[in-house]
Structure 1
Amino acid sequence: MTNSAGAVVDPGVDPVDPVTVLRMLREGVAAAEGAIIRFQALRDAQLAAAQRVAEEIAARDAGSASVRGESVDLAARSVAAELAGVLRMSDRVVQARMARAADLMTKFPEVMRAFGEARINAAHVRVIQDAGARLDETVRAEFEGIAVEACAGETPHRAKRIVERVAERLAPRSLTDRHRDAQELRRVWREDLGDGQKALGVIHSAAVIDGIYDRLTQQARAITLANAQAKKDEAGGAAPDPDGLGDPGDERTMDQLRADLCADTLLTGAASGHDTTAGLLRAIQARVEVTVPVLTLVAGDATEGAGTAGTTVDGCGSPAGSRPSFRVRTAQPAELAGGQPIDTHTARTLAGRVTAWERVLTHPITGAILAVDHYRPNTDLRRLLHARDSRCRFPTCGLPPHTQDLDHTIDAAHGGPTEEGNLGGLCRRHHVLKHQTAWTVKQHGAGILEWTSPTGASYTDQPPTPVTFTIEDPDPPPETDPETLGF
């Protein structure tokens, strides 16, 4: 997302015009935000210096320049206590911030520089620092450059998906390896909430949790629709169906229905307390939507045929210490709808169980969505747009696909065609904003949308890159037919 708004007010415009006032407010907020970010960067630099002072104090007291551990911790506690009164916060919080700021200054100097220049904000810094924590120093500088570029001019929520994907490519251990370890920690727990309530928590793989939630949602929606039909029938004097799902007196919300169905399923093994004798709800199966790079499906498991004795293999299937071309793993992690990465083993398992495929063709250089197989109106058009617009296409919005309406950029009532080049996924909030306010949008091909605000500011929104990798080509090839691009 880029802003091309000018900062100069047209001298011929009435100064009390609301649009003029809004333009001045926008520029004033931008200037204030830039100043705040620079002061936040300055504060972090001072906290990092405080951490170094604590290390110097510990070294002086111990008579050694390499002292670490408990001595440094005690000195840091003392320094943090000194600053806590000024910052009006707990000294424990101050100590943690000192350590984090020192880590940022030492390991991520380019990020700190961009922070000080207000090209990125504190939330961007957290995203980059958290994602880069597992990277070693040999690839950290490369990661910084890409991550800062991804965050500049973009919201932290949107940039997080790109930054984490870059970190995954450069990580010393693959997501599949880390997922295998994390799965050892899967568990169920309960927590007291008071008022006779308790919370039940589950930690499991992302695909399993998404599948559980989706199945409960489908079941709850089936009951909601049946209840609505039962109310309609009752109002018309029709006798209720004793074997049907519908209950005209059922006023439960979707959240309440999901909770009741989950409890019934766990307690009885099936949602029998809310189902019919024909098992209508049990017939509803979970849908887990996954985007999988083709190389992930064809690449072998790194744990199989790991090589000769004494040779270790990393998550790329390559000998430890080596790195594939472009420093990109052959088997990239797949992504659930909405962008959360999942391990390659789960992706292959889910892919192996489906009976049909939706192939999405992307440009080998830019990664832009070009087409999908069996392109038909309605179903396949929605699939293409779902693949291209994996979030709301309004600048700064990151709501996932299931919240979207398909919006005609040029209204159908005004002759706008129902085709990929005239459609975009918008959440309901921003769909209404487009039609009911002075915000306008144009399409520039390849899914690129240019939004113009009521004050004339221009914001360009690029479609999110699918789970793939792109390479820089100083001399890109000319436009060709998608079928000739080698997919």
Structure 2
Amino acid sequence: MTIDNINDSPADPVGAFLFAVDALREIQSAMAGLAAMEVSLYAAVFAQAEQLTASMSSPITDREMALRTASAEIGAALRVSDRTVQRRMSQAWDVTHGFPQTFEALRAGRITPSHVNVILRASDGVPPGEARDAYETIAIERAVETPPGRLAAILPAVAAQVHDAGVNERHQRARRERRVEVHDLPDGMAELLAVLPAVIAHGMFDRLTSMAKAVEGVEVGDERCRDEIRADVLGDLVLGGGPIASGDGLAAIHAHVQVMVPVLTAAGVSERGAELVGSGPVDAGTARRLLGAASGWDRVMTHPVTGAALAVDRYRPGKDLRRALRVRDEHCRFPGCRQPAHRCDADHSHAAADGGQTHLDNLALLCRRHHVMKHVAAWVITHLGNGVLQWTSPTGRSYVDTPTPTLRFVPSGLDPGSDDGLDPGEP
């Protein structure tokens, strides 16, 4: 069968099922071929980045900045982070030039992009040449008949078999990659990821399990499962150096975060959630507990129709304009970038040295990566009003970035124009 006659499914259930199986297999093979085309395009851009940017109106000769500029243009067009695009470009070059057998297998539809990722990860430390060729040959033979998850468990041994000297080198290099990351999840949650030596990681997990067992079921009414207790113990240890009486670790948070809390939620009138800037929603109870430990509050005045931030003041003196900018932008304003405000620079869209004024209509928060790129690669920012920015690339194409809406809602029974203690003119 072919994808063209996919609607000609047999009438009997078994025949229809087998028809679907064959169709899915053919579609997977076709998608692998498309993925190979995508890899080829990314690799071509990676190779030609300097030539492309050197021919622009503001030539760029530095290779890293050329790659950033090309990645930014592609990312804005595809609505993908330019950091992700640059990683794809680099990996595409590695695949097409360092793993030709793997690339050909992908183009032929024999393996999937997931197999390619596994083959590349497990090859770390296997040098180009005979060892790499032998590794690729064995890896592809296994990949065509093995799911990616199982392949990932097999290939490290294959890499060690073809290049014994690389085992210790890979371990030492892997140790230098240890890190801690945080990834946002839905519903006000986040995932804390720690990449550590296996002995340390398993030892930590075992210790957390032992501590969880020690408190499991001790208090009457504690219905937490062991996974929940393990997570709570980890939070207590990191934030407070030991178990914390409140059990949620919020009192120990002293890190620099920005939380947008609706005034009615803060006052206890509404249960509408707040927002952790750069992340996502926070439940009303957590927001109020964080506010209770805050050294000061920002008050945000918004446009009654558009919801754009107009002004910010504080119960104690501070840098009002910078706070207003943080409230409006919340994160880096390059399309697709989510670096939070406290990691960004306040950049004059029209340079101050050229007469640009220091006010909201000429300022934007940019992370260091995009701040440098804007100036070196001659990207141009135009303010369209209400915080909307238009980015024009060196190629002349434009991309619009709209700030997160800052509309605030009130309960249906409360008149927005009333004097129920919520007048923005009152401190």
TM-score scaled to structure 1, two decimals?
0.39
Q: Which has the higher contact order (CA 8 A, sep 6+)?
A: 1
